[in-house]
């Protein structure tokens, strides 16, 4: 213990003065001098088993670095705390205080579980109760069956040129939302890159070793005959099917989102079978970036033109073509291709980023 | 149609486009592009504000060739223009003020990703401000959430990762509730755009049908957006999130992101439901109660902190409580006070987070009270910035916080039944604010205990002006000026808010 008086012995004014100076933490009943870095206000301030904590600490250090593990969780801290309690209250009481703390913690956890279950039950009940009062499912008189879907169905083909109403709706009537959705995919892949991409370009040796460690190319199956034969058969079919879904998005069920997902899974299968070396010959990070850039730029410019002309009541001058033909429905076909490319790239980049931290 | 009317659409698309292009740029170019895009946005928002103020009415803008119930729409009025202007101005100052720290906190190869996140964050905020379509709002809420997570975790220390996970979980819960609310609303009205939905809701209220679903919709949307903006019982993600991010990210998250959701909530109340039906549903009383509780709990927790970053973050909890208290008063005056506090807190919190980081820099990057002692002398500009920010939070006259408190107090007079509670809450919370901010301020201007730091010298031996980069100096000075303007010339802004809210309904 330090030479300073403990807070219990200080008068009110002195205590305030110390707190004002930043020495004293109101939550702790110790001064900062006694325990260097003050512990955050965690409920389990008093660790029960030091050895288990020690292993958790090591795990935390591996993941987060040494600074994160709170001081209060280290065995030494627990011992210091026990000593202090013993000093203040006598050795016999110390054990009792510890047990009381342990008990209150267990009590808290039990109450927490019960409350969580009760809360979830209450929310479920409220929603079930609401559902009873909603319009009956599938009834023709529902409020949702108003003039909005009526126009989509009756005039959708002549106004958008797409025989698939859903595509006409998401890529023409409500194209701004869909542009937002493509940006959601784009920003999601950016965030995964923030989190997982391992960059060696700054020349730090630490980064290079990280790349080495996280690169599992060495463990790839090189000559898995069954997989390769199956993939030779399946991958072209999957890719053609994906392209078909995208190109026919305005004619039949499908479109950029679903077709892009099929294309992405085909690429992932190819990668798993033949390895990174072969895939990177035609699809690496540079290709991915340029593809996403081109697709989103085209989407952005084309739709900006369409929004601008629409809002200013100008003719857009884009021919809608014959409904049902493959080259029809104005901008919808190129937009579907853009969305498909973005979805494919996002799926593939997620996979490679999780696999080895880069493309 | 006047050309100026295109500007809301241009500013949203410009921000998105610069984000997309930044994906192939290097960090520095991405930063320049981002700063340019935000500056252009400021200019365009100012033009929209001037246009709407001159014509005295709002207008809707078709996003495509189809009118209201079928196509997407955005809408601009005085309040939208003002909010977009102030949001983008605060964003610009946060970005240029934190440039130096962004360079050190973020890996060099990921700098451009940081600015992509900033650009898309800006576009989503603008879209939330301008939207006239509930589903568009939801899509941009998603972008906002993901960009927020990215901004938190881009520093890539352990704490920021756990903070990002916490933020993700709470935010997804909020988005989920908001989406459930929208689905229920679509089920009973069949509309997603705000103006037709309002008509349909009016008919439902008249006929007395679907009373219970409507109540649940109000509750679910309010709770969802309250979780996302960090109202009191849902505030546990705030301290870590704001505390461990890089200063630009902290400033943007605390001054803009949570406010964007509150603005959306206000828009939902005015443009989809009507203020009367909100008052009838008593959701205002609930928000009022939790707002007041948040003011108390946030301030008390802030007093208990030893880490000053967490102290500032807990102070945000209290300030969000103020805003919800204003909304909960259920009167137009209360709403005006709440909107003014959105701006005032935005300007002040950005200033506090930036200048606090300037102070940590001259204190060996430590953040506790002891280490910060005397740092007001070591980094004078950051010290002055922090002083102005704290005094504004406490409610010192001539600064923006004073005007918010004045507006809250006067609006409390007009709301029977809540007058006394509001006034007492304001008084107690002001005293508590003063307790923790003045504690830190007195520390900043006391001589350091050990002679570890020479006066006026940074850790790397840089002296005087060199501690802070040019961007930091500009940003802090502009934010101080901003605070003074909001405090000294508040009347035109209050008038614009009143006019804008009148245009909402």
Per-residue pLDDT of chain B (505 residues; tens, 9 = 90+): 788 889 999 999 999 999 999 988 888 899 999 999 999 999 999 999 999 999 988 888 988 888 878 888 899 999 999 999 999 999 999 999 988 888 888 888 888 899 999 999 999 999 999 999 999 999 999 999 999 999 999 888 778 888 999 999 999 999 999 999 999 999 998 888 998 898 888 888 888 888 889 899 999 999 999 999 989 888 888 888 888 889 999 999 999 999 999 999 999 999 898 878 887 888 889 999 999 999 999 999 998 888 888 899 999 999 999 999 999 988 889 999 999 999 999 999 999 999 998 888 888 778 888 888 888 888 889 999 999 999 999 988 889 999 999 999 999 988 888 888 999 999 999 999 998 898 888 888 888 766 555 444 444 445 555 677 888 999 999 999 999 999 999 899 999 999 999 888 7
The pLDDT value recorded for residue A59 is 62
- Distance of alpha carbon B28 from alpha carbon B480, whole angstroms: 27
Mean residue pLDDT of chain A comes to: 78
Helix (H) or strand (E) holding B63: strand B59-63
Asked if the structure places residue A126 within a domain, the reply is no
Q: Tell me if A181 and B16 make a contact (CB, 8 A cut-off).
A: no
Q: Tell me if B16 and A183 make a contact (CB, 8 A cut-off).
A: yes
Q: Tell me if A20 and B442 make a contact (CB, 8 A cut-off).
A: yes
The shortest CB-CB distance from B65 to any of A130, A289, A310 is to A310
Closest-CA residue of A relative to B154 is: A194
Q: B103 to each of B21, B98, B272, how far by Cα in Å?
A: 20, 9, 43
Q: Nearest-CA neighbor of A340 among A276, A208, A245?
A: A245
The shortest CB-CB distance from B20 to any of A152, A293, A312 is to A293
How close is the nearest chain A Cα to the Cα of B465, in Å?
28
Return the exposure string of A258-276: e unless at least 16 CB atoms fall within 10 Å of the residue's CB, then b: bbbbbbbbbbbbbbbbbeb
pLDDT in tens, B40-87: 999 999 999 999 999 988 888 988 888 878 888 899 999 999 999 999
- Distance of alpha carbon B416 from alpha carbon B279, whole angstroms: 13
How close is the nearest chain B Cα to the Cα of A7, in Å?
15
Find the domain containing A296 and state its range: 164-356
How close is the nearest chain B Cα to the Cα of A53, in Å?
18
The pLDDT value recorded for residue A316 is 78
The pLDDT value recorded for residue A14 is 77
The pLDDT value recorded for residue A99 is 86
Q: Under 8 Å CB-to-CB from B143, ≥6 apart: which residues?
A: A180, A183, A184, A187, B120, B121, B123, B124
Q: How far is CA B171 from its chain centroid?
A: 15
Residue A338 is encoded by which pair of tokens? 């853009």
A179 and A300 belong to one structural domain? yes
What ipTM describes this predicted complex? 0.91
The pLDDT value recorded for residue B96 is 92
Domain end position, chosen among A81, A101, A121: A101
Q: B284-289: long-range contacts (C-beta < 8 A, 24 or more apart)? A: B284/B327, B284/B328, B284/B329, B284/B330, B285/B328, B285/B330, B286/B222, B286/B328, B287/B222, B287/B226, B287/B231, B287/B324, B287/B325, B287/B327, B287/B328, B288/B324, B288/B325, B288/B327, B288/B328, B288/B329, B288/B330, B288/B418, B288/B421, B289/B328
- Distance of alpha carbon A164 from alpha carbon A336, whole angstroms: 12
Q: Which pLDDT band holds residue A255 (cuts at 50, 70, 90)?
A: confident
Asked if the structure places residue A150 within a domain, the reply is no
Q: Tell me if B117 and A191 make a contact (CB, 8 A cut-off).
A: yes
Contact criterion met (CB below 8 Å) for A256 and A343: yes
Asked if the structure places residue A130 within a domain, the reply is no
Q: Tell me if A177 and B136 make a contact (CB, 8 A cut-off).
A: yes
What are residue B193's phi and psi, to 5 degrees? -80, 150
Closest-CA residue of A relative to B153 is: A195
Contact criterion met (CB below 8 Å) for B57 and B478: no
What is the pTM (predicted TM-score) of this model?
0.87
Q: Under 8 Å CB-to-CB from B20, ≥6 apart: which residues?
A: A183, A186, A292, A293, A296, A297, A300
A234 and A328 belong to one structural domain? yes
Q: Tell me if B65 and A202 make a contact (CB, 8 A cut-off).
A: no
Find the mean pLDDT for residues A252-263: 91
* Interface residue B119 vs chain A (CB under 8 A): no
The pLDDT value recorded for residue B456 is 45
* Interface residue B105 vs chain A (CB under 8 A): no
Q: Tell me if B146 and A188 make a contact (CB, 8 A cut-off).
A: yes
Tell me how crowded residue B169 is: count the other CB atoms within 10 A of its CB: 11
The shortest CB-CB distance from B187 to any of A135, A148, A310 is to A135
Q: Which pLDDT band holds residue A65 (cuts at 50, 70, 90)?
A: low
Asked if the structure places residue A18 within a domain, the reply is yes
Find the mean pLDDT for residues A64-84: 57
Domain positions in chain B are 282-505
pLDDT in tens, B141-187: 999 999 999 999 988 877 888 899 999 999 999 999 999 999 999 99
Domain end position, chosen among A48, A78, A101: A101
Q: Nearest-CA neighbor of B49 among B21, B18, B86?
A: B86
Contact criterion met (CB below 8 Å) for A199 and B110: yes
Q: Nearest-CA neighbor of B115 among B140, B96, B139?
A: B96
* Interface residue B39 vs chain A (CB under 8 A): no
- Distance of alpha carbon A338 from alpha carbon B475, whole angstroms: 39
Q: Domain count of chain A? A: 2
Contact criterion met (CB below 8 Å) for B329 and B223: no
Asked if the structure places residue A112 within a domain, the reply is no
Residue B468 is encoded by which pair of tokens? 């802070």
Residue B315 is encoded by which pair of tokens? 């102070």
A188 and A328 belong to one structural domain? yes
* Interface residue B9 vs chain A (CB under 8 A): yes
Chain B residues closer than 8 Å to A172 by CB: 64-66
Closest-CA residue of B relative to A125 is: B216
A191 and A279 belong to one structural domain? yes
Asked if the structure places residue A151 within a domain, the reply is no
Which residue has 């609303």 as its token pair? B185
Q: Nearest-CA neighbor of B136 among A173, A253, A312?
A: A173
Contact criterion met (CB below 8 Å) for A189 and B120: no
Asked if the structure places residue A115 within a domain, the reply is no
Query: Could you please report the per-residue DSSP string of A111-139?
Result: HHHHHHHHHHHHHHHHHHHHHHHSPPTT-
Best to test chain A binding among B17, B71, B154 (most A CBs inside 10 Å): B71
Half-sphere exposure of B412 (CA within 13 A, CB side): 20
Helix (H) or strand (E) holding A154: helix A147-160
Chain A residues closer than 8 Å to B154 by CB: 194
- Distance of alpha carbon A16 from alpha carbon A20, whole angstroms: 6
Chain A residues closer than 8 Å to B184 by CB: 130, 134
Chain B residues closer than 8 Å to A68 by CB: 157-159
Asked if the structure places residue A141 within a domain, the reply is no
Chain B residues closer than 8 Å to A173 by CB: 64, 66, 70-72
- Distance of alpha carbon A215 from alpha carbon B454, whole angstroms: 47
Domain end position, chosen among A51, A81, A101: A101
CB pairs under 8 A between A and B: 219
Q: How far is CA B349 from its chain centroid?
A: 9
How close is the nearest chain A Cα to the Cα of B101, in Å?
17
Where helices occur in B307-461 by DSSP H, the ranges are: 308-328, 332-361, 375-378, 380-394, 400-413, 419-444
Chain A residues closer than 8 Å to B166 by CB: none
Parallel, antiparallel, or unpaired: how do β-strands B72-76 and B59-63 relate? Answer: antiparallel
**Torsion region of A116: left, alpha or beta (phi above 0 gives left; psi -120 to 50 gives alpha):** alpha
Residue B212 is encoded by which pair of tokens? 């219970």
* Interface residue B173 vs chain A (CB under 8 A): no
Task: Please state which of the ranges A32-36, A46-50, B228-232, B381-385 shows the lowest mean pLDDT.
Answer: A32-36
């Amino acid at each position: 213990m330090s030479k300073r008086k403990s807070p219990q012995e200080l008068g009110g004014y002195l205590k305030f003065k110390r707190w004002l100076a930043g020495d004293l933490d109101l939550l702790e009943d110790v001064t900062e001098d006694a325990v260097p870095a003050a512990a955050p206000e965690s409920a389990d301030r008093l660790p029960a088993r030091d050895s288990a904590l020690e292993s958790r600490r090591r795990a935390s250090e591996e993941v987060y670095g040494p600074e994160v593990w709170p001081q209060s969780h280290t065995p030494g801290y627990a011992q210091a705390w026990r000593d202090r309690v013993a000093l203040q209250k006598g050795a016999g009481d110390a054990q009792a205080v510890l047990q009381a703390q342990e008990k209150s913690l267990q009590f808290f956890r039990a109450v927490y579980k019960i409350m969580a279950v009760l809360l979830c039950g209450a929310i479920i009940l409220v929603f079930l109760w609401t559902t009873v009062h909603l319009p009956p499912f599938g009834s023709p008189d529902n409020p949702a069956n108003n003039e909005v879907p009526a126009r989509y169905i009756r005039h959708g083909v002549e106004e958008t040129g797409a025989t698939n109403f859903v595509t006409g709706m998401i890529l023409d009537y409500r194209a701004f939302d869909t542009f937002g959705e493509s940006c959601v995919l784009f920003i999601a892949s950016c965030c995964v890159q923030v989190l997982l991409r391992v960059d060696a370009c700054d020349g730090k040796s630490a980064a290079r070793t990280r790349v080495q460690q996280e690169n599992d190319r060495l463990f790839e199956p090189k000559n898995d005959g069954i997989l390769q034969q199956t993939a030779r058969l399946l991958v072209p079919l999957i890719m053609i099917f994906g392209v078909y879904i995208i190109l026919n998005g305005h004619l039949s069920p499908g479109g950029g989102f679903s077709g892009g997902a099929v294309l992405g899974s085909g690429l992932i299968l190819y990668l798993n079978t033949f390895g990174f070396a072969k895939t990177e010959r035609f699809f690496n990070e540079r290709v991915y970036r340029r593809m996403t850039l081109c697709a989103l730029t085209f989407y952005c410019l084309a739709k900006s033109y369409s929004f601008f002309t629409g809002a200013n009541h100008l003719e857009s001058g884009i021919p809608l073509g014959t409904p049902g033909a493959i080259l029809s429905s104005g901008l919808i076909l190129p937009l579907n291709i853009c969305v498909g490319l973005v979805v494919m790239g996002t799926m593939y980049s997620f996979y490679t980023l999780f696999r080895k931290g880069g493309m | 149609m006047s050309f100026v009317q295109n500007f809301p659409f241009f500013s949203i698309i410009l921000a998105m486009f610069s984000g997309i292009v930044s994906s192939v740029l290097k960090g520095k170019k991405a930063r320049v592009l981002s700063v340019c895009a935000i500056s252009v946005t400021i200019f365009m928002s100012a033009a929209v504000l001037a246009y709407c103020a001159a014509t005295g009415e709002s207008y809707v803008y078709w996003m495509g060739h189809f009118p209201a119930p079928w196509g997407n729409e955005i809408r601009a009025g005085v309040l939208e223009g003002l909010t977009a202007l102030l949001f983008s101005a605060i964003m610009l100052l946060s970005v240029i003020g934190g440039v130096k720290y962004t360079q050190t906190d973020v890996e060099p190869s990921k700098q451009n990703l940081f600015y992509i996140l900033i650009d898309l964050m800006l576009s989503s905020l603008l879209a939330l401000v301008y939207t006239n379509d509930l589903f568009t709002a939801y899509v941009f809420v998603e972008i906002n959430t993901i960009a927020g997570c990215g901004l938190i975790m881009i520093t890539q220390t352990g704490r920021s990762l756990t903070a990002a996970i916490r933020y993700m979980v709470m935010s997804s819960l909020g988005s989920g509730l908001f989406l459930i609310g929208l689905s229920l609303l679509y089920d009973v009205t069949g509309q997603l755009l705000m103006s037709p939905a309002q008509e349909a809701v009016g008919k439902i209220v008249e006929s007395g049908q679907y009373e219970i679903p409507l109540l649940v919709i109000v509750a679910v949307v309010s709770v969802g957006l309250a979780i996302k903006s960090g109202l009191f019982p849902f505030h546990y993600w705030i301290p870590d999130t704001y505390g461990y991010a890089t200063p630009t990210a902290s400033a943007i998250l605390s001054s803009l992101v949570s406010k964007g959701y509150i603005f959306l909530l206000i828009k939902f109340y005015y443009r989809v439901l009507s203020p009367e039906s909100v008052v009838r549903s008593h959701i205002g009383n609930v928000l009022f109660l939790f707002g007041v509780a948040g003011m108390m709990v946030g301030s008390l927790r802030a007093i208990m902190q030893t880490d000053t970053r967490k102290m500032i973050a807990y102070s945000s909890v209290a300030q969000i409580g103020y805003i919800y208290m204003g909304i909960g008063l259920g009167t137009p005056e209360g709403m005006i006070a709440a909107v003014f506090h959105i701006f005032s807190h935005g300007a002040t919190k950005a200033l506090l987070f930036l200048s606090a980081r300037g102070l940590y820099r001259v204190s060996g990057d430590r953040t506790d009270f002891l280490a910060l002692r005397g740092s007001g002398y070591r980094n004078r500009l950051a010290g002055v910035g922090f002083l102005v920010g704290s005094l504004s939070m406490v409610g010192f006259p001539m600064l923006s916080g004073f005007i918010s408190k004045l507006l809250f107090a006067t609006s409390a007079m007009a709301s029977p039944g809540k007058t006394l509670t509001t006034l007492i809450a304001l008084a107690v919370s002001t005293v508590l604010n003063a307790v923790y901010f003045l504690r830190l301020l007195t520390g900043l201007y006391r001589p350091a205990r050990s002679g570890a730091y020479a006066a006026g010298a940074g850790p790397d031996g840089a002296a005087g002006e060199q501690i802070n980069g040019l961007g930091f100096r500009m940003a802090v000075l502009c934010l101080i000026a901003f605070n003074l303007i909001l405090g000294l010339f508040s009347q035109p802004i209050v008038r614009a808010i009143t006019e804008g809210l009148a245009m909402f309904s």
